[in-house]
Chain A
Amino acid sequence: MEPLLEVDDLTVRFRTDAGWMTAVDRVSLAVRPGEALGIVGESGSGKSVTALSILRLHAAPTTRMPTGRIMYGGRDMLTLPAREMRAIRGGEIAMIFQDPMSSLNPVLTIADQIGESLRLHQGLDHAAARQRAIDLLDLVRIPDAARRVDEYPHRLSGGMRQRVMIAIAIACRPKLLIADEPTTALDVTIQAQILDLLRDLQMELGMSVILITHDMGVIAEFARRVMVMYAGRVVETAPVGELFRRPVHPYTDGLLSAIPKLDVDVRRLPAIPGSIPDPTAVILGCRYSPRCPMVQAACRTEVPELVSAGPEREARCPPRVAMLGAVS
């Protein structure tokens, strides 16, 4: 099937006090219609920047224009005129963010904030937009929607606000929803509810979803295909079951063994030694090499390429791929 969105060699650089840093380094990905793609990585891995770049929402003053291509509907989003870009934002591609407490405008009513996209993209008038907003609040399972719709965000809990954010995002029935850590700021019980809601909506509306998270548990529950990012680079892509069963890249391995398991009694969770590298530091070769338990001499000098590691699988660790290939 033709991909809905295709990102090709995306590179994003930021200016910092210490000079230029590469936040996203030649990232490529594809999302098929109706597919749930998970992007996982630690903070600073470039996953959020990748997501923001798709809608060109990255902080403008400190960012150099991303290079590469982001193809959607036969057009390159990176060179799209601002007016056409705005028609896509909130219309065909919508986004929800990490912190529901700060993502809603405190001085505007819920009706206004949901209705705004409807008025913009579907030309509804105020009354019709408000009515649709009530329907949408019902859809995201907010009780007493007709009353809630005229309230201001500060009257709602974090979970409720994230539901409102979701209502805003799905208002115009987007083809693609980008969810940037949608559950990170929420309580565990609320997290599960929001994930359920997102999955149900995805089925109902038949939209594609890119879900960004640092939580392997969320990935396991939600995504069909997973992309693992480390220090601005894609290190592994795989169908979700495959990834959990048989991680190829040593970093993925490390991430997975850091998940607590219910059936195994351990005193101390294994953690990956060291920390994510300073993004401005120059690391020759594989960026994971300073922390990698199976590092080899070549890893420190040459940037490894993404290599195929089976059907629909790629990993940026040729030695490991070769080794596993020999075993299987």
Chain B
Amino acid sequence: MAEATATILASGEAIAARRRFRVLRKLLHHRSFMVGFIIILLMVTAALCAPLTGVDPNRMAIRFRFRPPQENWWFGTDQFGRDLFTRTLYGAQLSLWIGLSVAVLTGVLGAAIGVLSAQFRRLDSLLMRIMDALMAAPAILLAIGLGAALGPQTHSVIIALVVAYIPRTARIVRASALVTRELEFIEAARVAGASSLRIMFKHLLPNASGPLLVQSTFVFAYAILAEAALSFLGIGPPPPAPSWGNIIAEGRQFAVQSWWIMLFPGFAISLAALGMNLLGDGLRDVLDPRLKVEG
């Protein structure tokens, strides 16, 4: 009881600051989060360091084609004699860029749609029917269709995947915002004359940020995998752009005799997806509001 009084007396800002600090500390102690974080950090570093190899990822050298991994070519070379180590590093730039853009755009648009439909009941049924319609086909199929419509470009891959992944994100945010809306402090804010805009930005959105963040890490992972699938079908970033999906798609014909062409980018994709998933799992554990302390 005394604790409750103390809590009320303490200023709201101090509590928020302390909670942020606690979340950070929990994340630092969360094993799978840290493993995922380090994997992603290493991959970002590798991507940024790509120019340091001093090799043009698209420079062909027919004399040196199909070289297995060895001293000068750590990951070997492909059918055009391009250095796969350099291509995989540049591929990290492209794939991570696609993952990041898709995750951020999906997060922003999904959050906007989710919060809007939670706040305005009239918009809700229209927006949610559209989301249902988008979900009526498998996401990857939708992305294939959109990707084909927009042409094989990096940005069309991004747009296609964003459209394909928005519905689920919007639903998650909406569900969380609907719960928040029913809480008493929203009622209080409304009575106190807070505008819809204020309620959406000050209350609904922050309370949905946990699930949103977690979902975004998974979207990031999906996007990296989906880019590979789209490139595989010829709807990815246009060759010779060194995306991981492209390297694999081009190497597929030579899978048996030159296994290394597909191995390293395949491994990179798995690792990136694994890293993001671990990161997301950790975030979910820490941000889950149902975490309770017994005593």
A158 contacts B by Cβ under 8 Å: no
Report B169 CB to chain A, min CB distance, Å. Answer: 30
B26 adjacent to A17 (CB under 8 Å): yes
Question: In the complex, which residue of chain B has the Cβ closest to the Cβ of A276?
Answer: B3
Residues of the A chain whose Cβ atoms lie less than 8 Å from the Cβ of B25: 17
Per DSSP, chain B at the interface is: helix
A275 to B6 CA separation, bound complex (whole angstroms) = 8
A60 to B202 CA separation, bound complex (whole angstroms) = 39
Stretch of A266-274, A281-289, A292-300, A309-317 that contacts chain B? A266-274
Question: In the complex, which residue of chain B has the Cβ closest to the Cβ of A271?
Answer: B2
B14 contacts A by Cβ under 8 Å: no
A44 adjacent to B295 (CB under 8 Å): yes
Residues of the A chain whose Cβ atoms lie less than 8 Å from the Cβ of B1: 42, 271
A274 adjacent to B2 (CB under 8 Å): yes
B29 contacts A by Cβ under 8 Å: yes
A143 to B110 CA separation, bound complex (whole angstroms) = 51
B2 adjacent to A272 (CB under 8 Å): yes
A17 adjacent to B29 (CB under 8 Å): yes
Question: In the complex, which residue of chain A has the Cβ closest to the Cβ of B22?
Answer: A17
Per DSSP, chain A at the interface is: loop
B294 contacts A by Cβ under 8 Å: yes
Report A218 CB to chain B, min CB distance, Å. Answer: 16
Residues of the B chain whose Cβ atoms lie less than 8 Å from the Cβ of A46: 295
Q: Considering the complex, which residues of chain A in the window 31-87 have a beta carbon less than 8 Å from any beta carbon of chain B? A: 42-44, 46, 48-49, 59
Residues of the B chain whose Cβ atoms lie less than 8 Å from the Cβ of A279: 295
Residues of the B chain whose Cβ atoms lie less than 8 Å from the Cβ of A42: 1
Question: In the complex, which residue of chain B has the Cβ closest to the Cβ of A273?
Answer: B2
A276 adjacent to B2 (CB under 8 Å): yes
A-B contact pairs, 18 of them (CB 8 A): A17-B25, A17-B26, A17-B29, A23-B295, A43-B295, A44-B295, A48-B295, A49-B294, A49-B295, A59-B294, A271-B5, A274-B2, A275-B2, A275-B3, A275-B5, A275-B6, A276-B2, A279-B295
* Residue ranges of A at the interface with B (Cβ–Cβ < 8 Å): 16-17, 23, 42-44, 46, 48-49, 59, 271-276, 279
* Residue ranges of B at the interface with A (Cβ–Cβ < 8 Å): 1-3, 5-6, 25-26, 29, 293-295
